[in-house]
Each structure stands twice: as structure tokens, then as C-alpha cells.
Structure 1
Amino acid sequence: MFLRMRALMLLTGVFCMLYFGLQPLTELYEAKTLVVAPEEIVFINTSECHVTGPRRPAPFFTAIEPVYKLRCRLPQLMIAISKGGSNVLVAKGSPEDLQCRYWLRTAEDFQPGKYVADGLFDLKHGARKEVTVGMGKQIVRVKCSTKMNETKYHDVHYFLPPPDPHSKPMSSPDKLSVMVLGIDSVSHMHFMRYFPLVKGFLEGLPHTKFFGYSRVGLDAYANIVPFLSGLSSIELQQNEGAWLFQGFSAGGYSTAYGEDSANAILAGKYGIPRQLTDFDLIPVMAEMDTHTRYSIDLKEMIHCTAGRSFKDVLWDYIGKLVPHMQRSPFFSFFWQSQGVEEYYEYASHLDLSYMMLLKSLLDADILNHTLLLLISDHGLRAGNYRMSFQGMREESQPLLVAIYPEWLKEKYPLAMDNFEQNAHSLITPYDLHVTLRDVLSLDQLQDGHIEVRNSSLWSCPPKKMPRGVSLFLRVPGHRTCDRAHIPSLFCFCRELTEVPTDDGLVLRCSRFLVESINKLIKPLGQCRQLKLKMVLLAHFLDFGEDSFVYELRLRVRTDPGGGEFEATVRLSDVLLLTSPISRVNHYLGQSHCLSDPDFKIFCFCV
């Protein structure tokens, strides 16, 4: 009996201990009402425009080859460093005896193939060697071969000497530096999907994501020119642009420009006068493109030089500029396009490198005196994902994230409050141009000045609203695509109503669209005239009940070549194109007889 009572008491004790001891844990795991994240994300939310999109669109895979396998396959035998005031090539352990030759160019010389000196040296198997080749800003091409004249190493290096060691880093800057990190063809939602590391890193920094950023032009050039010059790409042909590079240079800033391609966006007939920049990577990329470039993908759109991708060359260039950025105010513009233009999944391949780049800038204290814009020009412009309705929307919703120092909010509270409040406003590259003009005169951001400028802006009649509005002011909520100078094809503030593709009016407008293409290419001679094969998609654009404007957004397929084009056509007494004509599928070698990018997209060579 006694044993039974002891056993009962022991069981009771164990029960109480388990019940009361584990109760907090059971409460932790009890079913609770879950707060479900909204399925849609708000891009623009104003009185005139409300745009939303799916937070998690369906996964999509289009790559012909796995992007994670796209690695440079040749060895990287040398690095370039500045040492004791001299430019030095440091050779790693060579796999065999090699005979090397180098050619030197000045970094400011834009004429490819013009060398100021050359030289010879040998590399012994497994030996480390340092070769002094010159001093100052220089470009050097190195080619190493075996005794049988088999090339084992061919590369181009850029020497950028460090700043004066006696100069001191900026402590409390009275000027705000600007850095633009551009990624071609990445929409805001594409960034949300494929850059989780960058997104997480941003949470520890003062920043604003501008969900309502919209493109105003067809391609990268047509969107970057308004940002850097304040003019459209067409206006720039008749006017001399007031480039930001020149404005910042006149304001006492050093300037730098770099892209990961020799076919630079701003190197065309009406491009930026690059000789005005203090540091320029394009001559380096041109030397690589001519002598050492090779491709690593089937489409031959991603290039390497020796063991480095062109993107790695751009990253190395930025790293060499960091000591200069620590000591003086800087305006810098960097742009990456290789890979992201062609491959939907390639963005995931960049997440870690962009996060590490931002971390290096943070560690070097660059972000404490810099407004950094992580930006794109548009979403994917062609391919299978672009053919979907979501892809069509994302094309006109490029990425824009601004990172800024904490002291900026403390010193200019009203301006920065407006800046952050504009996160869901309808904004454009023209606004960014005016915003950076304000950075040149930070006194304009004092609360008193901002109040006066805000009052003037909001009292302005809608039809006289300026094309560019500084983001340090509150962008008016009654702004429309027309007032922001956004063509109909790029505007998603208007509701789209699908129309049958065999509708008579749709067919008439589609034939007009093809006729408009034929008028463009007819003077060229070497391009076939196109015929309408099929109307793929037609949408009616809703301008509101009070409007008497009627437009159709069309996607058509043409013969020969199967080109697929989109544009908007206004219905009036006469038909009128109200947007550029965009090609939304790849044309590969169909237009091999032309080099002008404005016409290549339309041309099927005779």
C-alpha cells in the first residue's frame, strides 16, 4: 500500500512538472491567427494613379544553359598594382616557361592601337615576378606565349595610382558625393525576386525604394540621357546637353565613368563628351574588346578577358577609385549590362557580388558622404518572360533604390521627409536629373527653401507642371503620365481592357503599325518590307470617362523573320503612333547588314 502511494505521488509530481514546466512551450506553439502578407505590392498610390503587382509571381526559367556555370575558363596569371609611384605587373606562378610582351597606352587616349611604348620579359615555371612598366594612369596589354608560339595568357590591365598619401580623408563633408550603380534590364520586381542578400543588407542602411519609378524611353540610351542631361534623346540631337558630369566637375567634384562593355551606352553620335571625365574605363574596355575578349555563353553576350569577366573588370575599376573617393567629393556613373540583358536568371548570379560591393563601400566610409543610386533603365525588353502580361508590365517598372547617410535626414529634415514620401509617387529620369542638380547646392535643401519651392510647385497649374521635379520636394499627387512625359506604351496608370484581335479596328491599326515600320526602313534599301502576319495582343487604354482620347496597345507579328512589335496607336481622324515601336523578341542575325541600333530591330536583311 505504501509503495502504491509513493508511486502515485511520484506520477502526480511528474505530471505537474511536465504540465507547468512545459506550459510556456505549449503556449508558444498553440495555433494563433497568422497575419498573411498581402498578395499584391503597391507601386504607385496617388490621386491619379494606382498601380499594384503580384508580390510573388510564378517562377520562370528561360536560360538555354545554367547561368551558374558561366565562368571565365582561362587563367589569370597577372595583376596590376601601383607600387612606390610605379606601375607594376605582378606575375603569379606560371604553369610553364613563357615569353611575354607588353604594350603601353595612355589612359586618356581614345584611339585604339596607339601605343607609347612596349617591352619584353620572361616568366619562369612556378616563379613569382614583378615587372615595372611605367607610371601614372596607363593601359597595358600583355601577351605571353610558349617557345612554340602558343598563347597562354593575353590580358589588358588598367593602372590607377592612389591619391597623394599626404591628403586626408574627408571627415565632415560639406558636399554630398553621388554614385550611380546601374544594372541594365532589371525591373523592381526582378530585384525583389533575385537580390535577397542586397535587400537584407539595405535594411541596415538609410534608404528609400522608389516603387513608382518609370522609364520614359525605349532603350538604355533613351532613359539614361534624360537622367544625365535633362533632355530626351531626341532633344539632345538638336541641343547641347547640360551633362551632370560637367555640372559636378564645375562644382569641384572629381568625375568617373565606367561600363562593362566596349559598346558603351553613351559612346554614340550624341553621347556624353567623355573626355571631360577625370576617370574613364571605356578605353580599357575597347582595348579588351579588340584584343583579348572571348565569350562564355552560347549567345556570345557575356565576355571575359583572361580569367576575369568584363563585370569583374568594372568592379576592380571601382575598387581602385575608392581611395580617391575617400579624399574628395565625387560624381561617378557605373553601368553593367552583360548577362542581365539576355538571361532572366542571371540576376541571381549577381546578388552576392553587389552585396559585397556595397559592404566594401560601407567599410571604406564612402556611404557616409555619398548618395548612392542603385538603378536600372527598364525591365527585360525581349524573350519569353517579356511576352507574359506581368513581363510586359515590369518592362516599364525599372529599379530605383537610393542609399544616403543618416546625417542627411538630420540636417535637412523636410527635404528628406519629402524624399521618402515620394516612394510611391510617379517619377521619371527627368526628376532624378533635377534632384542631383539640388545636390550641387545643398543650401537649397534647407527647410525654408523647401517650403517655398513646395508651395510654388503645388500652386502650379497642371498643364504647366515642370517635366522634372526634384525628389526633395513632394511630387504632386495629380501628376499623370502625360504631365510626366511618359509615353502611353510605358504607362500603366491606365487600365488595359483586352480587345479581340480579329476586331476590324484592331486590324486597321495593326496594319498602320506595320506600315509605319516600313516607312522607317524603306530609305535604307538593304531591308525587306514587312507584312502583317498576325495580331498577337490588343488592349484598349482607358483614359477616363471624361476623356475623348482613344488608344490601342498592340502586339503584332510580321513576315519575313517573325518579328514581334509593340506600340500604341491613337484613334482620331487619322491614325497616330503615340509611342516608340518596341521589338519584344530576339532578332539575332536577321539584321546583320545594319549597325545602327535604331533600325536593326526592324530590319530583315535582303
Structure 2
Amino acid sequence: MSTSMRLLMLLTGIFFLLYFSLEPYMDMFERPAIAIPEDIIFVNNSGCFLSARQSPARYSPAGEPINLLRCRKPQLMSARTRKGANFLVPKAMLENLQCTYWVLAAKDFQSNKVLLEGHFSLKRGANADIPIGEGQQIVRVKCKNQTNDTIYHDVHFFLPPPLRKLKPNETEKLSVMVLGIDSISQMHFVRSFPQLNGFLENVHTKFFGYSRVGQDARANLMPFLSGFSSDEAESQTEAWLWERFRAQGYGTAYGEDSAEVLFTTRNEKKQFPSEPTEFYLPPVLLEMHSHSRYSLDLREMIYCTAGRQFQEVLRDFIAKLVPHMRQRPFFSFFWESQGVQEYYEFATQLDQPYMMLLKSLQEADILNNTILFLMSDHGLRAGDYRSSFQGMEEESQPLLLAIYPDWLKVKYPQAMENFERNSHSLVTPYDLHQTLRDITCLDQLQNSQIEQRNKTLQSHLPENLPRGISLFLPIPEYRTCELAHIPSLFCFCRKHTEIPLDDGLVLRCSRFLVKSINQLTKPHSQCAELKLHSVVMAYFMDFGEESFDHELRLRVMTLPGHGEFEATVRVSDALKLTSSISRVNPYQAQSHCVSDPRIKVLCFCT
């Protein structure tokens, strides 16, 4: 065989070797990439179509590294209960300290009401535990060194485990726990909680059509806990949910990570009953807020006490409740707001703590007898992200998911089938209220009861549909925002079409919106009269072919103060506001001269 022939065969062999060995890699470049759908369908029925975007809109992060900030003062003590007695457990001291402590009532909002004052010394090196008392207690501690500098200032609370085992209930009861995180939309949760989402995979039902019905936390949680809007609730005497559960033999608990309690009346008086829940965290946070708090961030939105963030105090409260929850049925409500209200990126800090919290509840066997709602009130309400159209949509798509034991599906198959099917229905806080009222009497979830109640629900004409429908019943697929009592400003079931900002009708409606603001602030002479500076955003809202009305969603900027306001205006024979007026940029000290929260968001103080 000639040399040239051998060379040709060698080259041919090399070619085939390279071709077949590289073919899989070539396919990676030649085959078209599979497109990941950007839109997720939340609700798609005759009454509503809702979707969301997976990737976030652009936003400017905080000017400081929020995710890296830590409380800068030392945590020198912890609270422990042993054999019914309460102790302060000190760490090893680096210097000698003289400490004073004050014992307060466990449920008293009067932070200056001291039951007992005492003193103790801490020596450099090892120290013995300091006995404080017994039972539920709030203890504030302040320690100074030899040069009279305050080295440690903190508030501790004692929540001892139950002293004796109660007799088991004769009737089966299902505990309820609400874990609330302010300003978290459905998609914000998906993006910011990867570990928790992984932990919850296949063990929960997410309600994609959950919608807000009011502007702030109070306006969305009042319907959930009372069944009434925030305005209606002030004139009602019906029981709060925790009172209903307490009447059925449940233990009750309430906790926030803020001293500004969510449920206050317009005149700022506490709207809780005279006897609050059995276990009650707000007085602890009020004592911290008054004496030991300091800010973690430059904008003073996240607070610490000694070496702990306020959110850590809330989770410690939940942990101390676990022995009580194992003993008897409980209705518990917890709410976290600091940080997540102001900073888009802060939510990622909560991923691991909430995963660990749910894991600890699972290991303590709490979740086997509890329906747990992980929820929010609305999406982000201010900031760069909220300024985008996507941010505006997500504000009205708060998080709601439920975790529940498997035995519920076995014992109440029809009710739980409806519950899971409603995951893609239009749902509101009014529905949640009715759902939890059902849980106070589980007999209502029997198949025969569900069938009868469903017949009653179907007998209603659409215009007479109840405002709140239990999630254990099938929510009609024709339900619209109007039928669900969702104001126009918070409804994204209708198609939104962007229109030119200089359109004559847009300008006319924008001036009407500013005029409406001035009419609301007119009784308050300290508020300046606002002028229209510019139209920031304008959308036409499609009512469908059956309607002759037109409705515009507007965002305007006013002077003085550069306030940005949103509302919906309906155009028919005359202009009419069809929503409340929402402030979408920070106003901080601009409204210091008024206290009414409805006016505060609109007022520029002169």
C-alpha cells in the first residue's frame, strides 16, 4: 500500500473519530434552546385572568449592604426557665459590671409600670445564673462598667413551659398558625426563598389568585381576623378570630416584630379586647422600642436590641410556645415587617430562618395537627421596584400558601378537594376568615355538610354572592373583582393598555385626581394645596364589550413635595374615583403635622 493511501486512511480515521466524539457537543450549539416561559398563569377562568412574571423588574438596591448588616452591640445574657424558676444566664464577662433590672407585667402596655426593681453584679470571667422569678415575665436589664458607661441594655421575656399536662380533648381539634411576612408577593417569594421553597415542595397548596383588598397591612388583615373591612370593624362588636378559637378551648398567641401594633383605631387607641391573647408579645417589643432599641440601617427601618434583631425576638417567642402547642390546640398569629417593607433584597435574609423554623415545627410534631398559613398582606408598596408596572402588579398579588396534615384529606375528602382546587381561584382575606371559622367546628367539613352548603352557594345569583366564601367550598369560576369586593386599584384581572401621557383624557382625569386629593385634605389647613406636576403612568382598563364605561389607572406627581399618587378614575357621564388614593413613594417627615393615617399619606405640611 502506498504511503499516500496510508496517509489518506489515517486522516479519514481521525475525521470520523473527531466527528463522532464531538457530535454531542456540536448538538448543544446547533439545537435551538428551549425557551423558559416568562409568564406564569395564576387564574384563568371566565371571571378573571391573572398572570405573573418569573424574572424581577429592574430596581436599584439599597445604598448600603443590607444583607451584610448585623447588630453591633453584644448579647451578654439569655433568658432560661428551669424547674419553674426564671434565670438570666450571663456569658463570661470581659470586665466587672453593675446591673439593674426591672420586672414588668407580662401583658401590660404601660411600659413604665414596674412591679419590681433589683440589682446584681457581674464579675470578670465566669458568673452564676441570676434568679429573677417565675411565670410569664418581662425583664429589662441595664449594665454599666466602672466608668459608668452602659455596656449592655436589653429586654428579656420568660415564657415557661406548661407545669402540668392537661387532659386530652374529647373532640378532635385542628390547630391554626399564621406566619405573616409583610410586603412579599407570590413571585418575590419564589425568587427570594429558594431553600424554603425546596423544603415545602409537594407539601403545600399555594393560592395563586390571592388578592389584597386594601392598601396597607391593617386594611388587609382586619378582614381576615374580623370578617369586616378596616372601616367597618371600628363599629362592630363581633368577636375576633382568636376570641372564637378561645371559646372553643384553644390556646391563643399573638406576636409581631414591631411595637407598632397592626390593629389600632383611627384615633390610635388599641383595638384589641381588654384581655388580649393568652401569650402576647407586643408589650415586650414596646419595652424594647422605648428603652433598648437602636437602628441597624441608615434609614432606621430595622431595629436591634443588644445583639438581636427584633425579628429574632419574634422567632424566639414562637420557639418558646412550642411546648404549649404540643399540649393542646392553638390559634397563633405572628407577623414580621421590619426590613421587608423597605428593601427588596432583605427578603433573602429570611429564607433560611423560616426554613429552620418550619423544620423545627415539623420535628416537634406540631404540623401533624396544625394547618399553617404562610402569607403576606401585599407586595412592595414603595421604592424603585414598585415604580415599575410589574412591581405595581405584584403589589396586588400577595403570598398565600397552606401546609396541612395528610389526615385532613382522608377524613374530609370533599372539603380538601375544594380547598386544593381553589388554588387557582380569585381569593381574598374575607374568604380566609370564613375558612378559619369552619375550622372552629370541623363537623362543617363532613361531605354531607359540604354538599348542602355548596347547593346553598350555587343558589345565589352572582350579584348576591357572599363577600367571603370558605376555601372548603368551590369558589364560582365566574367570580370577578367586583363580586369578590376587590377595589379597582387592586384588580389586575382586566387587561391594562398603556396610553400616551399627554392624551387629553389622561390629563383631564389626572387633574381630577389631584383635585380629589385636595378635597380630602382641605379640612386640614396645615396641608398645602397640591398642583399637578406630571403624569407618570397611565393605563386603560378593559371592562369588556358589555360595558360602555372607561376606567383609567393613573400615577401622578404633585408639587410641593414630589408626591406620587395612584388611583383609578372612571369616565362615564362624569369623572368618578373608583378606588382609594395610594401613595407610592416615601413621604417620611412631609406629613408630620397630621396623625390621621388616611390624610397622612396625602398631606404635604406647610
Q: Please say whether Structure 1 and Structure 2 have the same fold, judged by a TM-score greater than 0.5.
A: yes
The AA in structure 2 aligned to 1:440 is T
| Alpha-carbon separation, structure 1, partners of 2:25 and 2:449 | 53
Shift of 1:383: 0.8
* Structure 2: distance between partners of 1:56 and 1:288: 39
- What does the per-residue CA deviation read over 1:531-563, in whole Å, with 9 as the maximum and x for residues that have no partner? 111111111111110112221111000000000
Aligned residue identity for 2:161: P
State whether structure 2 residue 247 is matched by structure 1 residue 255: no
Separation in 2, partners of 1:428, 1:242: 20
Aligned to 2:10: none
Q: Verify: 1:472 aligned to 2:472, yes or no.
A: yes
Q: How does 1:76-95 map to 2 (within 5 A)?
A: 76-95=75-94
Unaligned runs of 5+ in 2: 1-13
Q: Which amino acid aligns with 1:222?
A: A
Aligned-partner Cα distance in 2 for 1:505–1:176: 54
Any conservation in 1 of the 2:59–2:384 contact (CA below 8 Å)? no
**Equivalent in the alignment of 2:233:** 236
Of the structure 1 ranges 86-95 and 473-482, higher mean CA displacement relative to structure 2 is found in 86-95
Aligned CA distance change for structure 1 residues 152 and 29 (closer, same or farther; 3 Å): farther
Partners of 2:324 and 2:546 in 1: CA distance:
57
Identify which of 189, 194, 200 aligns with 1:191.
189
Give the deviation of 1:141 after TM superposition.
0.3
What residue in structure 2 maps to residue 136 of structure 1?
Answer: 135
User: Do the aligned residues in 1 keep the contact of 2:57 with 2:385 (CA within 8 Å)?
Assistant: no
**Structure 2 contact 378–397 (Cα < 8 Å) conserved:** yes
Pair 1:266-2:270 in alignment: no
Please report how far the alpha carbon of residue 38 of structure 1 lies from its aligned counterpart in structure 2 after TM superposition.
2.7
Contact 1:61 1:344 in 2 (8 A): no
Give the direction of change, closer, same or farther, for the CA distance of 1:450–1:42 in structure 2 (3 Å limit): same
**1:399 Cα deviation after fit:** 0.3
- Give the CA deviation at 1:526: 1.8
* Superposition map of 1:421-436 within 5 A: 421-436=421-436
Query: Which residue is 2:208 aligned to?
Result: 211
Counterparts of 2:450 and 2:24 in 1: how far apart (Å)?
52
Does the 8 A contact of 1:169 with 1:326 survive in 2? no
Shift of 1:69: 1.8
Q: Secondary structure at the match of 1:474?
A: coil
1:57 CA drift (Å): 3.1
Distance 1:240 1:328, change over 3 A: same
Q: Secondary structure at the match of 1:255?
A: strand
- In the alignment, the residues of structure 2 paired with residue 135 and residue 102 of structure 1 have an alpha-carbon distance, to the nearest angstrom, of 15
Amino acid at match of 2:86: N
Report if the CA contact (8 A) 2:67-2:345 is conserved.
no
How far residue 270 of structure 1 moved from its aligned partner, in angstroms, is 6.6
Partner residue, 2:11: none
Q: CA deviation at 1:168?
A: 7.6
Per-residue deviation, 1:512: 1.5
SS in 2 for 1:284: helix
For 2:49, give the aligned amino acid: H
Give the letter for the 1:180 counterpart.
Answer: V
Helix, strand or coil at the partner of 1:357: helix
**Is contact 2:69–2:296 with CA below 8 Å preserved after alignment?**
yes
Q: Which amino acid aligns with 1:588?
A: Q
1:581 — aligned with what? 581
Tell me what 2:7 maps to.
none
Counterpart AA for 1:493: C
Matched to 1:552, the amino acid is: L
Q: Relative to structure 2, which stretch is displaced further, 545-554 or 27-36?
A: 27-36
How far the C-alpha of 1:217 sits from its partner, in A, is: 0.3
Structure 2 partner of 1:391: 391
Answer yes or no: is 1:490 the counterpart of 2:472: no
Aligned residue for 2:566? Answer: 566
- How many angstroms apart in 1 are the aligned matches of 2:116 and 2:201? 50
Structure 2 CA distance, aligned partners of 1:299 and 1:513? 31
Write the mapping of 1:286-365 to structure 2, written as runs, cut at 5 A: 286-365=286-365
* Contact 1:412 1:446 survives alignment (8 Å): yes
By how many angstroms is 1:588 displaced? 2.1
| Range with greater deviation from structure 2 (77-86 or 235-244) | 235-244
Query: What CA distance in whole angstroms lies between the structure 2 residues aligned with 1:35 and 1:440?
Result: 49
Residue 126 of structure 1: aligned partner:
125
8 Å CA contact 1:274, 1:280 repeated in 2: no
Instruction: Indicate conservation of the 8 Å contact 2:60/2:384, yes or no.
Output: no
Distance 2:441 2:598 in 1: 37
Q: Which amino acid aligns with 1:264?
A: V
Partner residue in 2 for 1:12: none
The answer (yes or no) to whether the contact 1:41–1:53 under 8 Å persists in 2 is yes
User: Do the aligned partners of 1:260 and 1:337 also contact (CA within 8 Å) in 2?
Assistant: yes
**Aligned equivalents of 1:512, 1:166: Cα separation in 2:** 64
Give the C-alpha shift of residue 272 in structure 1. 3.0
In the alignment, which residue of structure 2 is the partner of 1:96?
95
Partners in 2 of 1:483 and 1:164 — Cα distance? Answer: 50
For 1:496, give the aligned amino acid: H
What SS class does the counterpart of residue 116 from structure 1 fall into? strand
Give the whole-Å Cα distance in 1 for the aligned partners of 2:481 and 2:377. Answer: 17
Q: Which residue in the other structure is 1:8 paired with? A: none
What is the one-letter code of the residue matched to 2:496? Answer: L
Shift in CA distance, 365/467, structure 1 to aligned 2, threshold 3 Å: same
Q: Distance in 1 between matches of 2:526 and 2:232?
A: 28
Using the TM superposition, give the Cα deviation of residue 104 of structure 1 relative to its aligned residue in structure 2, in angstroms.
0.4
Aligned twin of 1:601: 601
Which moves more between the two structures, 252-261 or 591-600? 591-600
* Residues 444-492 of structure 1 deviation map (CA, whole Å, 9 limit, x = unaligned): 1111111121222123210110000110111100000000000000000
CA contact (8 A) 2:256 2:281 kept: yes
Counterpart residue number, 1:540: 540
Residues of 1 paired with 2:36 and 2:448: CA distance? 40
Which range moves more in the overlay, 31-40 or 248-257? 31-40
Asked if the contact 1:168/1:327 (under 8 Å) is kept, the reply is no
For the residue of structure 2 that corresponds to 1:350, the secondary structure is helix
Supply the AA of the counterpart residue of 2:220.
N
Equivalent residue for 2:5? none
Q: For residues 371-450 of structure 1, what are the structure 2 equivalents within 5 Å?
A: 371-450=371-450
TM-score normalized by the length of structure 1? 0.93
Question: How big is the shift at 1:590?
Answer: 1.3
Contact 1:245/1:276, CA 8 A, preserved across alignment: no
Partner AA of 2:601 in structure 1: I
RMSD: 2.3
Which residue in the other structure is 1:46 paired with? 45
* Residue correspondences, number: 586
Pair 1:263–1:274, CA change in 2 (3 A): farther
